[in-house]
Amino acid sequence: MRTIADLHIHSSYSRACSKDLSLENLEKYARIKGVGLLGTGDFTHPKWVQEARAKLKEDGNGILYSSTGFPFVWQTELSLAYTQNGRGRRIHYIILAPSGEVVGQITEFLLTKGRVDYDGRPIFGMSSIELLDELMRVSSDIELIPAHAWTSWFGVFGSESGFDSLKECFGDKANKIHAIETGMSSDPAMNWRIPWLDDITLTSNSDCHSYWPWRMGREANVIEMKELSYKNILAAIRERKGLVETVETPPSYGKYHFDGHRLCNVVMSPQESLQHKSICPKCGSKMTIGVLSRVEQLAAKDRLEGYAPKGRVPFKSLIPLSEIIAELNGFPVASRKTWQVYNALIEKFGNEFNVLLEAEENELKKAVDEKLAAAIIKNREGKIKVEPGYDGVYGKPILNGGNRSSNEGKITTPAKRKQKGLNEYF
């Protein structure tokens, strides 16, 4: 069986998340999106875990099922804030657990370090090494994955408080880290330029803070396995066994791809930023250094853009369907007019991933106008340009013109536009 898995989500108990995030809504929109497996999100929060235990049934193989048969796996995210090597660190981690019993043991440990009831993604003052050690004491089947590893804020390699390698972060325990999450502002091709990541599995997940299909599943993992089990999910993560490919958004779509300062509407490529010594030319403040610059800092000199190591897992780059419809037609992404077009496509093709990846162009033209059908194919081929995101501002697909290309090599100050999703951290 082939499953599209999104293993990093949140509940309504996480700060800056939709209050309508429920297991029912997660399942409903996962089916609409075409996602076949979800993380539970926030398993340390007492109210959310109580709801999950009441509504989901464990099958004995590490998978939980809803009453209608939709599968979940135990998952949460933690935030660590500590000092290491004389520098303040703020790092986020995904935790996957093999059973509800192990979830309880993890929570018991965390309660010795602080509270878990105030936020679905609680913050702790321990180091990454201590967290890893304690989790391994609970169970060797727990998986700890650095979340959105390159993101400027809270990424293990982030420019603001991250490390220059997994070994710097974890010391001699680095071999216990089997995977990282690439995050929206990087893709596997960018990570391939880092030699010490060759043996690390590159996973992709949405980190969605709402259940809408332009959030959930925007990044995901495609896993082939004989049966759906935690053991097989772990094999995909640790050994790449059955990991067919990942689904990514274009990295320029992410909110931290380029350097910039959103308060001044200033955004720069790494080359432009170097010329200005990473200082905002409008106000003199330090700009937020984006993921592309950070990758350039750590990449091997002999691994230029386009380098592809042996044994790599392929990926597909897609912009969410709702974003394509909204940008092409000039409607807000959550508008009734966008939903009308979106729902017509879902009704005909079953789910969004079928539309984005499988539907033939002539069949698309029967469901929507020719311009949108062509844009969907263009998206599938990775040919849609995106005005790069920066300093917390999402990138913007360019389907109706746009001025980014005319500003290459200059300081770019995009026209003020609605900063979608800034109530989300990622």
Number of other residues whose CB lies within 10 A of the CB of residue 378? 15
Of 223, 252, 281, which residue constitutes the final position of a domain?
252
Q: Are residues 233 and 96 in the same domain?
A: yes
Of 220, 252, 284, which residue constitutes the final position of a domain?
252
The C-alpha atoms of residue 216 and residue 9 are separated, in whole angstroms, by 8
Q: Are residues 336 and 242 in the same domain?
A: no
Q: Are residues 326 and 246 in the same domain?
A: no
The per-residue pLDDT for 401 is 60
The C-alpha atoms of residue 219 and residue 333 are separated, in whole angstroms, by 18
The identity of residue 107, as a single letter, is T
Handedness of CA 276, 279, 281, 284 (dihedral sign): negative
Q: Are residues 237 and 338 in the same domain?
A: no
Q: Are residues 132 and 21 in the same domain?
A: yes
Handedness of CA 2, 21, 181, 63 (dihedral sign): negative
Of 252, 284, 300, which residue constitutes the final position of a domain?
252
- The answer to whether residue 287 is domain-embedded is no
- The answer to whether residue 290 is domain-embedded is no
pTM over 0.95: no
Q: Are residues 353 and 226 in the same domain?
A: no
In terms of phi and psi (left: phi > 0; alpha: psi -120 to 50; beta: otherwise), the region of 52 is: alpha
Q: What is the CA radius of gyration of the chain?
A: 21
Closest CA to 212 of 297, 305, 334, 308: 334
Q: Are residues 337 and 227 in the same domain?
A: no
Instruction: Match 């939903």 to its residue by tokens.
Output: 339
The per-residue pLDDT for 27 is 98
- The answer to whether residue 234 is domain-embedded is yes
The per-residue pLDDT for 426 is 33
Q: Are residues 360 and 246 in the same domain?
A: no
The C-alpha atoms of residue 352 and residue 346 are separated, in whole angstroms, by 6
The C-alpha atoms of residue 309 and residue 286 are separated, in whole angstroms, by 35
Q: Are residues 109 and 229 in the same domain?
A: yes
Full pLDDT tens readout for the chain, 426 residues = 999 999 999 999 999 999 999 999 999 999 999 999 999 999 999 999 999 999 999 999 999 999 999 999 999 999 999 999 999 999 999 999 999 999 999 999 999 999 999 999 999 999 999 999 999 999 999 999 999 999 999 999 999 999 999 999 999 999 999 999 999 999 999 999 999 999 999 999 999 999 999 999 999 999 999 999 999 999 999 999 999 999 999 999 999 999 999 999 999 999 999 999 999 999 999 999 999 999 999 999 999 999 999 999 999 999 999 999 999 999 999 999 999 999 999 999 999 999 999 999 999 999 999 999 999 999 999 999 999 999 999 999 999 764 433 333 334 433 333 333 323 333
- The answer to whether residue 410 is domain-embedded is no
The per-residue pLDDT for 269 is 97
Which three-class secondary structure string do you get for the chain?
A: CEEEEECCECCCCCCCCCCCCCHHHHHHHHHHHCCCEEECCCCCCHHHHHHHHHHCEECCCCCEECCCCCEEECEEEEEEEEEECCEEEEEEEEEECCCHHHHHHHHHHHHCCCCCCCCCCCEECCCHHHHHHHHHHHCCCCEEEECCCCCCCCCCCCCCCCCCCHHHHHHHHHHHCCEEECCCCCCHHHHCCCHHHCCCEEECCCCECCCCCCCCCCCEEEEECCCCCHHHHHHHHHHCCCEEEEEECCHHHCCCCEEEEHHHCEEECHHHHHHCCCECCCCCCECECCHHHHHHHHCCCCCCCCCCCCCCCCEEECCCHHHHHHHHHCCCCCCHHHHHHHHHHHHHHCCHHHHHHHCCHHHHHHHCCHHHHHHHHHHHCCCCCEECCECCECCEECCCCCCCHHHCCCCECCCCCCCCCCCCCC
Q: Are residues 331 and 236 in the same domain?
A: no
- The answer to whether residue 266 is domain-embedded is no
Q: Are residues 340 and 211 in the same domain?
A: no
CATH (domain of 34): 3.20.20.140
Task: Find all residues with CB under 8 Å of 318, minimum gap 6, and list them.
Answer: 247, 248, 249, 356, 357, 379, 380
Q: How many domains does the chain have?
A: 2
Quote the tokens at residue 109.
Answer: 């440990």
Number of other residues whose CB lies within 10 A of the CB of residue 385? 16
The C-alpha atoms of residue 216 and residue 220 are separated, in whole angstroms, by 9
Quote the tokens at residue 334.
Answer: 């959550």
Q: Are residues 173 and 81 in the same domain?
A: yes
Q: Which residue range is the domain that position 337 belongs to?
A: 320-380
Phi, psi of 218 (to 5 degrees): -65, -25
42-72 b/e with 16+ CB inside 10 Å = b?
Answer: bbbbeebbebbeebbebeeebbbebeeebbb
